[in-house]
Structure formats: C-alpha cells, structure tokens
Chains A and B, each alone.
Chain A
C-alpha cells in the first residue's frame, strides 16, 4: 500500500466506449502524474498537475482527457481509444519541487485493454 489508489485495476473497453480511470492520494502531495507503460517499454509521462493546474501535456492525443478537481484526485477520461492504447496506466503523486525523503509514490496501475 503506497497511499496512491487507482481504480479500476483492470479494464477492458471497446473502441467506441467511454470510460474513466481514477486516482486518489491522501498524502498531502501537491503534484500528480499520469503515465502510460506499453509492454516492455519505459514509462511515458502523459500529464502533470501541480496544485490542480496542468503543467505538462506530453503531446498526448485528445482521446485522453485528464481532470484534476482537487489536489487529492486525478482522473483520466478515455474515449474512442485504439487497440495500441492498451497498456498499464500509472498514477503518481509527489511533493514538488523536492519530493523529499520518500520520493514520488505510485499506484498499482490500471491494466487497460482496448478491443
């Protein structure tokens, strides 16, 4: 248990579906992140939020839409995805600019399969 909770853990969706991934942390962190990790590839940073404001969008397609209603919650809304979007989606939180002695905390991820 890292203090960062992601739901659901597994998701199968069709290409025409709309779904959302949820992440929450109650660690008092001010920064939250979404990452994508495809099979046997490094983590790709998708979005960064700092104090609820988006500070990084790493050229992510518009079919991925993040939402950060407060510093504790982060969503990733998905619509009209492609099979190549199947991956492990990881959420993280940290205290910026210096994460301190515990670094960033990661959730267990959502394993997404697009069919």
Chain B
C-alpha cells in the first residue's frame, strides 16, 4: 500500500488560499488520491479525490503532479471554519489515516 507524507502543521491567513502538500512517491497506477479533513472531535469528512487529472469541486481543488508522486489540496479562500486536520490518503488502502496536516486559519 502506498504511504503518504504531509507536513505536521501549516498556518494560513483568513481569505487567502491554503495550499496543503502531500507526497505519495510509491503510488501505483490504479490508486486514487483522496483528501479528508477532521474538525475537532468530529468524524472525518471527504473533500475531494483524483487519479491523475486536476479536480475541482465546491470545497477545494486538487492538483496532482504529472508523475503522480505528489499532490496539493487548495482551499481557495480559507475561512476560520477550515481550521482542521487534513488527511491525504491513497486508495485503495484500507482507509488508513496518517497524522495529517493541522491547518490553522488565522484572522
């Protein structure tokens, strides 16, 4: 199963774009990149996923490098309510979560 590496924490100013990186250098051809977030003491929430093309939905954008060894989750206009732990997961991977990135959005 491919593993992921994320920075432990990041800060972002309210209203600015938050760019969260993820390294998944051992990803194989049929594995998707999924992003989830967990707001304090709640269950994780799905954000977005992709295989090799860039993806966008109402919550975020996902940029995957051409070699698929890394990706970036972009929250275009971060708000205080986006403060959470963000997890990058390679699927299928038994839905195993790493430590994620703690994103703190500050006013």
Which of B18-26, B70-78, B91-99 is the interface stretch?
A: B91-99
Flag if B94 contacts A48 (CB, 8 Å).
yes
Task: Give A97 Cβ to nearest chain B Cβ, in Å.
Answer: 4
Is A103 located at the chain interface by the 8 A CB criterion?
Answer: yes
Given A98-B32, A101-B49, A103-B49; A45-B43 close (CB under 8 Å): no
Q: How large is the interface on B (under 10, 10 to 19, 20 to 34, 35 or more residues)?
A: 20 to 34
Alpha-carbon distance A101/B35, docked complex (angstroms): 11
Using CB atoms and an 8 Å cutoff, list the residues of chain A in contact with chain B.
2, 4, 33, 35, 42-43, 45, 48, 56, 88, 90, 92, 94, 96-99, 101-109, 111
How far, in whole Å, are A12 and B71 apart by their CA atoms in the complex?
42
For A104, give its contact among B46, B99, B100 (CB under 8 Å): B46
Q: Once bound together, how far apart are the Cα atoms of A71 and B34, in whole Å?
A: 23
Whole-angstrom distance between the alpha carbons of A20 and B87 in the complex? 29
Task: Find out whether the CB atom of B43 lies under 8 angstroms from the CB atom of A33.
Answer: no
Residues in B1-57 with C-beta less than 8 Å from chain A: 32, 34, 36, 38, 41-47, 49
A45 touches B94 (CB 8 A): yes
The 8 Å CB contact of A106, one of B45, B49, B99, is B45
A94 B41 Cβ-Cβ under 8 A? no
19 pairs, CB–CB < 8 Å, chain A vs chain B: A2-B43, A2-B45, A4-B43, A43-B97, A56-B94, A92-B43, A92-B44, A94-B95, A96-B92, A103-B34, A103-B47, A104-B46, A106-B43, A106-B44, A108-B43, A109-B41, A109-B42, A109-B43, A111-B41
Complex partner residue of B99 from A42, A88, A109, A111, CB under 8 angstroms: A42
- A43-B44, A98-B92, A104-B36 are known contacts; what are 9 more A-B pairs with Cβ within 8 Å? A42-B97, A45-B94, A90-B43, A90-B44, A96-B92, A98-B32, A98-B91, A106-B43, A109-B41
